[in-house]
Every structure is written in structure tokens, then in C-alpha cells.
A and B are shown apart, each in its own frame.
Chain A
Amino acid sequence: MSDATFLEYVVFFAAALMMIGGAIGVVIFANPVHSALGLVLTLFGVAVQFVAMDAHFLAAVQVIVYAGAIVVLFLFVIMLLGVDTAADLAIDPIKIQRPLAAVMGVGLLGLTAAAIVKARNSLELAPGEGIARAVDLGDHDANIRQLADSLFSDYVFAFEFTSVLLIVAVVGTVVLTRRWPRDPRSESK
């Protein structure tokens, strides 16, 4: 057994454990703050998997945008609204909901796992142009360079439209959360 392969296994299973543990934590913790911390654990696990799969830029973006911005936004809202109290999870308002959800979960996992295992042999087909690896090229920015080439040539229209999407989202949120005065005329006084 080569050391490199053994290390890959350690990294994979450690990160997988982080992802699964965090995901289960999100679902079963009664307090929303603890759920948010479970989400952070999962997001870091995903970032580690990204590094293992040579997606270095995405790993950095994952930590900065997801763990850094989105989870902080969640925590901000939890604290702003003061909902950081534990919910009683023993109460099940709709009696049959949890058994049905469990059945759906088992079914979904079974079907996707069956499809993945069945598609295993066709994974070799249709290889693309190759992913630039920093290790092979001796270029630390190889992944960023290749991703930028793809983003700013093939997907440049989609990229431009995401800026429109973000502007619309920001304006929409301001409109949604602003407290509008009851009488529009009273605002000018």
C-alpha cells in the first residue's frame, strides 16, 4: 500500500464523516444555532473533498462564501429574531409525517444509490479536455486559470446574468424587509 493512497483514504473518510455528522446534526439539533454550526461542519467537509478532487478555487470559495457569508447570515437572522431557543422535537404535529419522510428518505437513497452503482461502468466514457492540476504543471494558479478560461469564454453570458440576479435579489430583500409606513403621505412630513 502506497502512502499517498492511504492518505487519500484518510482524507476521504475524515471529510465524509464531517459531512455526514454535520448533516445529521443540522436535522436533529433542537436549537437553530447548533444546526447552523452543524452546517458549518458539513461545508468544511465539502471544501476538503473539493481539495481532494483538484477543485482548489472552489474549495476556497466554499469556505469564504458558504461558511463565511451564508452561515453568518443565518446566525445573524437567528440572533436578530431571537429564535435561538430549543424547539421541542418530540411534538409531531402531523402524525404520519415522520414515518412517511423516513420511507421517502430510504426510497430516495435506494434509488439514487442503485442508479450510481448501475452507472459505474459508463463513467469512463466521453472524457473532456482535462483538468489542469497544480501539482503536474508546477503552476499554483492552474485551477483558477482554467476555471476563468471556461467562465469568461463559454459561460460569459450566464456570468453576466448572475450579476443581474444578485442585484434583483438585493433589491427584492430590501423591499421585503423594510418597514413601510402605514400612510405613504406621512413619510414626507
Chain B
Amino acid sequence: MIAAIETTWYLLLAALVFTIGAVGLLIRRNPLVMFMCIELMLNAVNVTFVALAFQLADIDGQTAVLFVLVVAAAEVVVGLGLIVSILRSRPGATADDLAELKG
């Protein structure tokens, strides 16, 4: 007889995905890929929320995930708008090229 899956495993998995996203955010230069890494980190936190909602038998964790989804959608829209307007004026720009804000 093996034990049921513990909440700790979900939390460790979420921590691992969060770390991969954070490292990716630091080492990649393409603004689009950096943005995807931020999405990875948001999803890792969502897994943590749902795992603790499951463990503590409290629906509030799932409600919080719903709000994270809404904020993530708004954030992606604004961020991609910024990236489009930046890359339109300077094709092929990386995060290093954006050190100054002069258009």
C-alpha cells in the first residue's frame, strides 16, 4: 500500500517550475521569451494556490487563482502592446537594447 500523493509534492513541483521561469527570465534576451517565463512563474504560483486550497479544504485559494488569471490576461495584453510598439520602431531589439527610453 502506497500513501496518497502529498500536498508537499505539488508545492515542490510548483517551486521547481517557478525557479525555471525565474532563471529563464534572467538568462534570455528576447522580450517575448522573457514574457513567457513570467507566465511560467504565474502558473507555478497558481498550482501552489490550488494545492493549498485542496489541502486546507478552502475554496478561497481557487478564487485567488481566478483573479490571477484575470490579472495575467490584462498584463499580457499590455506587455505585448509595449513589445509590439518597441519592436516596430527597432526590429530585432533585445532587452539589452532597451536600456534607454528614447524612442
Which of A's residues lie within 8 Å of B, judged by CB? 1-2, 5-6, 8-9, 12, 16, 19-20, 23-24, 26-27, 32, 35-36, 39, 42-43, 46, 49-50, 52-55, 57-58, 61-62, 65-66, 69-70, 73-74, 77-78, 80-83, 87, 93-94, 97-98, 100-102, 104-105, 108-109, 112-113, 116-117, 120, 123, 126-132, 143, 146-147, 149-151, 154-155, 158, 162, 165-166, 168-170, 172-173, 176-177
**Are A83 and B92 in contact (CB-based, < 8 A)?**
yes
Given contacts A27-B27, A176-B85, whether A128 and B59 have CB atoms under 8 Å apart is yes
Of the candidates A26, A55, A129, A154, the one whose C-beta lies within 8 Å of that of B57 is A129
Q: What are 26 sample pairs from A and B whose C-beta atoms fall under 8 A apart?
A: A9-B5, A16-B13, A26-B40, A32-B30, A32-B32, A35-B32, A39-B36, A46-B43, A49-B13, A53-B10, A55-B54, A58-B66, A61-B69, A69-B73, A70-B72, A109-B15, A109-B16, A113-B12, A116-B11, A131-B54, A131-B57, A131-B59, A131-B62, A165-B71, A169-B73, A169-B77
Q: Smallest distance from the beta carbon of A22 to chain B beta carbons, Å? A: 8
Cα distance A177–B52 in the bound complex, in angstroms: 39
Decide if A80 touches B84 in the complex (CB within 8 Å): yes
Interface of A is mostly: helix
The answer to whether A128 and B57 touch across the interface, beta carbons within 8 angstroms, is yes
Q: Find out whether the CB atom of A70 lies under 8 angstroms from the CB atom of B39.
A: yes
CB contacts under 8 Å to A, within B1-54, are 1-13, 15-24, 26-30, 32-33, 35-37, 39-40, 43, 46-47, 50-54
- A112–B39 touching, CB < 8 Å: no
| Chain A residues, Cβ within 8 Å of B4 | 5, 8
Residue of B nearest to A53 (CB): B54
Q: Are A26 and B36 in contact (CB under 8 A)?
A: yes
Other-chain residue from B15, B53, B83 in contact with A116 (beta carbon distance below 8 A): B15
